[in-house]
Structure 1
Amino acid sequence: MTSDAQASVLRHNPAAVLSGCLAGAALALAAVGVASPAQGQELASMINAHGYSFYGDLSYAPDFPHYRYVNPDAPQGGEYSEWAPGTFDSMNPFTRRGRPGRYSSSMYESLLEMGGPFGDSAPADAYGEYYCLLCETLEYPESKDWVIFHLREGITFSDGTPLTAHDVVFSHDLILEQGLPSYAEAVRQRVISAEALDDLTVRFEFAPDISRRNLIDQVGYQSIFSQAWYEETGARLDESRLEISPGSGPYMLDSYEINRRITYRRNPDYWGNDLPQMRGRHNFDTIRVEYFGDDAAAFEAFKTGEYTFRAEGNSRQWAIGYDFPAVTRGDVVREEIPVGTPPTPTGFIFNLGQEHLQDRRVREAISLAYNFEWTNQQLQYGLMAQRYSYSQGTRLEAQGVPEGDELALLESLGDLVPAEILTEPALTAHSSSAERLRDRRNLRRANRLLEAAGWVVGDDGVRRNAEGEVLRIEFPFASSGSATLEAILETFVQNLQALGIDAQNQRIDPAQYTERRRDRDYDMIFDQYVAFIDTGTGLHQRFGSEAAEYSLFNPAGLASPLVDRIIDISLVAESPEERDTALRALDRVLRWERIMVPVWFSDSEWVAYWDIYDHPEEFPQFSSGAMDWWWFDQESADALRASGALR
């Protein structure tokens, strides 16, 4: 360890002071009159743990044997296979250009485990709890001004080289230099320094005078890359490439065929095989992803067993499409798994960077052209419910007129808060006629709003403003999407055209769609935000002004001083009750902003799979876990192959 590193340990690790020279230090402090009780108080307030949550509560003890929801004796072997739409031309998930292959980030781990390699929650029965993965323990003061992670011994990348604290610091610096600008800038403002104190110890120091929310978990969730590989190859994190850096995760890349398939295989030498949290997980020998040009082709391939697990997102298909012989014979299983999280805020999102969409009256008028009730009955077989809240169905959903603590919070913000937010009920989705696509009542309301905003219908039936500019909406969507979604977009556009708006769907190839989404080259887009059931600095990236012009996580480009202020209040809340009050106000204000036309959701996850998989009987609240803790049923697979039903 260098002298600078030693000094850092002594400054920020009271335990090191005690173990080094407690008696001499105490005498010296007494001699010069320095307040040694303060040092003792810091020591008393130190937290050393096997995981992290903001309030310090962890559901699993340090010696837990495995996560409660897994089968610790699940057999290992076999293959899991699914499909992906469109194309890919890169295996670097961090590229700013091109389309990365699905799950290309699955090979990289972080200090704290915040999810399985393929995106499932971990642990899936607790929210806001993060357990040590690459680290063995972490320590930090109650002030959360800094954190030290103590790495486990024996961690290796897939090429057999050791993973050390120096790789952690290198990865942090690499993301700041070459990562997504919105993310890198957010980290740069919050994390002052990253320092490897020795090969197994890394320390992060955080900026003063900011919320302590999401600082420790932010650095704990950072992907860790091999410094040696990047230095030897000269590769960049932000470039599109098929060559990959070695990861430390349980799976490694096996093979790929551009635009056809990707296969990952379990690393038999995975360093973490014996960790308690890995018991009953990562059970498949291989994970295979088959690519198809569109959903229709993918569904036909599923029928023949070309891939064996399908998460169904097409309501029409779920309602009437699963009548093929394999289902009738029982060779294919259909299952509806309850969803324990609030619905994802999906919808038709406005690009607020477009001048003609900056008027709330225009956005409200456009919203009135969407007929959920007719769409649900005619195109989605009545399977959906309508969404409107960013925390729907939770304690954070704003309801009615603000009152009590929420009203007091909003009133304290003065002129930032529009008067109607204080006096009107929280905005919910409008109702429409299920009998006809064009709800005349809503279209009349929309017409009045557009005229009040200065968009008047001319003799040719087209709306223009005083400068003669046409009210135009361009709506790109990927050709790889489902036919049902395309039909829904078409009916929405028909109603917009009935209002005199020059609205056009633009069906484009997936690669072009990805570029236009990244460049925010659209008027409206079918996209999503995230539901929230807790606060965090990530709310600023998704809804805040700090990166609104370029953040990929904020497709509307929302930049509202009111939203910023409420997020800040939630971040410094001193109790869960104060936090929840602020988040209810945030939900209310986001709905008032009308940054999207909210659409539909299902309270169940629809999955279909060939009868070669099994899972525990009970599902945890936050994940269905097919790729994480399901397992392969070899006996059933052999029977299906023997019958000729499955190749």
Structure 2
Amino acid sequence: MPSFVLTLLLGSCLWATSLAALAEPVADVPTVAGISLYDAPALPDDFSHLPYANPDAPKGGEMRRAAQGSFDSTNPFILQGNPADGLNHVYDTLMEASADEPFTMYGLLAGGIRLDPDRHWMEIDLRSQARFHDGHPVTAEDVVFSFRLLRDEGQPFYRAYYADVDKIEALDDDTVRFEFSDNNSRELPLILGQLPVLPKHYWDSRDFAAPTLDKPLGSGPYAVESLSPGRRIVYQRVEDYWGRDLPINRGRHNIDRLVYDYYRDQTVALEAFKAGNLDLRRESSAKNWATAYDTPAHEAGFIKRMVVPDAQPAGMQAFVMNLRREKFQDRRVREALTLATDFDWLNEHLFYGAYEETDSYFESSEMEASGLPSDPERELLAPYRDRLPQEVFDTPLPAPRPEGLRARLKKALGLLRDAGYEIRDGALVNRETQQPLRLEFLLYDTQFERVTLPLIQNLERLGIKASLRVVDVNQFLTRQRNFDFDLILGSFPQSANPGNEQREFWTSDYADAPRSRNLIGLQNPAVDGLVDSLIRADSRQALDNAARALDRVLRWGFYVIPQWHLDGTRVALWDKFGYPQPFPEYTFDLSSWWVDPQRASRIEQRQRGER
């Protein structure tokens, strides 16, 4: 994934002159078809198709999937509104990632890429045949316009992503040049490859910052065919898509219609799938996976289930504590709350033994901190020693915890007493303010009620007055964006190459930015500095060391109540699809799937017979 950092200010005219000299293009910089974070791309410049794509895949058919909640906008780039699912299908980016490599980007709109060996600048030659759906050519001016529009008026993470871009300019109609304020972020050129290019001639006469339900204009493989606000959106494959025969696209975008039907509740969506009204479903519930698919259609082989392996880090799913509220300011209180979860009981009684407990923000990867800090980690942590808990330096990870829930609750009560609380009439109250400790868990998915209620019961044993509120997904998103919660179900997904996105997850600049992903409200100079170190990493080992140091600080801060993970994606589907075997190693990529006409016909005949 990508990375964020504050743009460095030039200290003097002399330094500015020096940097400009470094940014001068080198005459012999080669033009290439792809770039990678550390190593060379796995594929040669003249590759014919991605190794996991089937260039002979048939075109046609449809894929129907469920979306949750509602939508009131077709602009996915702004703060306002709830955008519809699937809008990424409409827009081409400068480059496209390979799902079979950790972080490599190959040209999409970009027909050629020139990257300064010292990473001070990058130039991109656009493909002359690139067109928006209305026939207008995609130009360098569209790229410049899109970059500035997203950075200045888009969601906060764009500002973080592009913070180190010092200058962008169109050198001619087909060539755009990016100049970087420094070369500390190795992944910045790849992040810029993810830039969605918007049509300047379309947006010039429209208010970009306002939600809209107009059908958007893009240059991608699909266009919006129809929509019913809050209920359904349908995308139609563009027959004359300009990029259909490019090597990066050959064997991809095979399905004619992509349908997203909206459901308020996952239980209803599951029943719709089993009834044949949806074609594919990612299953998030271990209980459903174990019990809900025992149907005649499954027994007859019409419904298949599979777990698609995933080499990405598991990341952190958790109940997130909102540090903007006074009750969470004391680290001892936060640690006490983490001790109230009984994962072993949940896994045995509710999850059918399906999960592993999550400890790390970079779980299941080389970036996960363990044991005591290594010498390189200590060197990164040393400048912040006075700001960090001593355990960061002298206590091994995972953090030691008493065995058994009873012992953990006993330790938790001791921490709460040390933090100034005491039990009065069965309630935990602050000795100074005389106020009871009250907590509210905010959810939007009823499936999580059964895993939250046992935690609430354990907290009540400590005298904490905890409650659960389940709201519809739109209200949930509104409260999340406004940081109006005590504890919320959140996740911090990670890739094999974390970078600029870590700024928005953890750093002070995003603690109070509306709709940012710093759900915790972290404002910690040590975290800010470690995120910068991670982004500046110039080797795989340096990246791993920085991630481990950051992981230690986050874990010893006890900012979340960690949950659990599964190293793979559970997928249930009606058996009408073809897909690559083996699956690509790093990303679950539905764009390389296709509808098998014979199997689809067999399923349609069965479903017609049932009706």
TM-score by length of 1: 0.87
Amino acid in structure 2 at the alignment position of 1:402: P
Answering whether residue 136 of structure 2 is matched by residue 173 of structure 1, we say: no
**Corresponding residue to 1:617 among 550, 557, 581:** 581
Answering whether residue 35 of structure 2 is matched by residue 52 of structure 1, we say: yes
* Structure 1: stretches of 5+ with no match in the other structure: 1-37, 115-122, 434-438
Answering whether residue 563 of structure 2 is matched by residue 602 of structure 1, we say: no
CA separation of 1:344 and 1:580: change in aligned 2, threshold 3 A: closer
- In structure 1, distance between residues paired with 2:543 and 2:267: 45
Aligned twin of 2:121: 146
- In structure 1, distance between residues paired with 2:274 and 2:435: 50
Amino acid in structure 1 at the alignment position of 2:497: D
CA separation of 1:601 and 1:254: change in aligned 2, threshold 3 A: same
Aligned twin of 1:554: 518
Aligned twin of 1:373: 344
The CA deviation at 1:184 is 2.3
The CA deviation at 1:349 is 0.7
**Corresponding residue to 2:229 among 248, 258, 283:** 258
- In structure 2, distance between residues paired with 1:196 and 1:646: 59
**Corresponding residue to 1:197 among 171, 180, 189:** 171
Aligned twin of 1:26: none
Answering whether residue 437 of structure 2 is matched by residue 471 of structure 1, we say: yes
Aligned twin of 1:297: 268
The CA deviation at 1:186 is 5.4
- In structure 2, distance between residues paired with 1:408 and 1:183: 31
Aligned twin of 2:3: none
The CA deviation at 1:554 is 1.4
The CA deviation at 1:68 is 0.9
Q: Higher relative CO (CA 8 A, sep ≥ 6), structure 1 or 2?
A: 2
- In structure 2, distance between residues paired with 1:358 and 1:264: 47
Answering whether residue 606 of structure 2 is matched by residue 631 of structure 1, we say: no
Aligned twin of 2:481: 518
- In structure 2, distance between residues paired with 1:642 and 1:280: 27
The CA deviation at 1:393 is 2.4
Aligned twin of 2:528: 564
Secondary structure of the residue aligned to 1:273 is coil
Secondary structure of the residue aligned to 1:511 is helix
Aligned twin of 2:422: 456
Amino acid in structure 1 at the alignment position of 2:357: Q
- In structure 2, distance between residues paired with 1:387 and 1:98: 33
CA separation of 1:562 and 1:608: change in aligned 2, threshold 3 A: same
CA separation of 1:523 and 1:517: change in aligned 2, threshold 3 A: same
Corresponding residue pairs, total: 589
Contact 2:132 2:199 in 1 (8 A): yes
Answering whether residue 250 of structure 2 is matched by residue 284 of structure 1, we say: no
The CA deviation at 1:618 is 0.7
- In structure 2, distance between residues paired with 1:518 and 1:357: 19
Secondary structure of the residue aligned to 2:545 is helix
- In structure 1, distance between residues paired with 2:56 and 2:157: 43
Secondary structure of the residue aligned to 1:492 is helix
- In structure 1, distance between residues paired with 2:530 and 2:541: 15
The CA deviation at 1:548 is 2.0
CA separation of 1:338 and 1:186: change in aligned 2, threshold 3 A: closer
Amino acid in structure 2 at the alignment position of 1:68: P
Secondary structure of the residue aligned to 1:571 is helix
- In structure 1, distance between residues paired with 2:519 and 2:550: 18
Higher mean C-alpha deviation, range 97-106 or range 247-256 = 97-106
- In structure 1, distance between residues paired with 2:549 and 2:602: 56
Percent of pairs with identical residues: 36
Secondary structure of the residue aligned to 2:196 is coil
Contact 1:336 1:606 in 2 (8 A): yes
Secondary structure of the residue aligned to 1:531 is coil
The alignment's C-alpha RMSD in Å is 2.2
Secondary structure of the residue aligned to 1:48 is coil
CA separation of 1:327 and 1:170: change in aligned 2, threshold 3 A: same
The CA deviation at 1:337 is 1.8
The higher radius of gyration belongs to 1
User: Which residues in structure 2 correspond to 1:86-97 (within 5 Å)?
Assistant: 86-97=69-80
- In structure 2, distance between residues paired with 1:308 and 1:182: 33
- In structure 1, distance between residues paired with 2:159 and 2:353: 43
Secondary structure of the residue aligned to 1:400 is coil
Contact 1:352 1:556 in 2 (8 A): yes
User: Which residues in structure 2 correspond to 1:480-495 (within 5 Å)?
Assistant: 481-483=445-447, 485-495=448-458
**Corresponding residue to 1:112 among 90, 95, 98:** 95
The CA deviation at 1:410 is 2.9
Aligned twin of 1:225: 198
* Structure 2: stretches of 5+ with no match in the other structure: 1-20
CA separation of 1:218 and 1:391: change in aligned 2, threshold 3 A: same
Contact 1:315 1:381 in 2 (8 A): yes
Secondary structure of the residue aligned to 1:106 is helix
Amino acid in structure 1 at the alignment position of 2:253: H
Answering whether residue 393 of structure 2 is matched by residue 410 of structure 1, we say: no
Deviation digits for residues 208-238 of structure 1, max 9, x if unmatched?
4x62333222332221111111123x232x3
Deviation digits for residues 145-192 of structure 1, max 9, x if unmatched?
2211110011111122211111111111211331123532653x4222
Contact 1:89 1:100 in 2 (8 A): yes
**Corresponding residue to 1:349 among 320, 334, 355:** 320
Answering whether residue 51 of structure 2 is matched by residue 68 of structure 1, we say: yes
Contact 1:79 1:288 in 2 (8 A): yes
Contact 1:346 1:599 in 2 (8 A): yes
CA separation of 1:182 and 1:63: change in aligned 2, threshold 3 A: closer
Deviation digits for residues 579-615 of structure 1, max 9, x if unmatched?
3222221222221121211101112321111111121
- In structure 2, distance between residues paired with 1:224 and 1:431: 53
Amino acid in structure 1 at the alignment position of 2:303: V
Deviation digits for residues 329-361 of structure 1, max 9, x if unmatched?
111111122222221311111111111101111
Answering whether residue 413 of structure 2 is matched by residue 447 of structure 1, we say: yes
Amino acid in structure 1 at the alignment position of 2:363: Q
- In structure 1, distance between residues paired with 2:66 and 2:161: 34
Secondary structure of the residue aligned to 2:410 is helix
**Corresponding residue to 1:308 among 271, 276, 279:** 279
- In structure 1, distance between residues paired with 2:400 and 2:563: 9
CA separation of 1:427 and 1:45: change in aligned 2, threshold 3 A: farther
Answering whether residue 544 of structure 2 is matched by residue 580 of structure 1, we say: yes
Secondary structure of the residue aligned to 1:243 is coil
Contact 2:52 2:584 in 1 (8 A): yes
Contact 2:64 2:279 in 1 (8 A): yes
Aligned twin of 1:361: 332
The CA deviation at 1:313 is 0.7
User: Which residues in structure 2 correspond to 1:120-139 (within 5 Å)?
Assistant: 123-139=98-114
Answering whether residue 244 of structure 2 is matched by residue 273 of structure 1, we say: yes
- In structure 1, distance between residues paired with 2:414 and 2:81: 43
Contact 2:264 2:472 in 1 (8 A): no
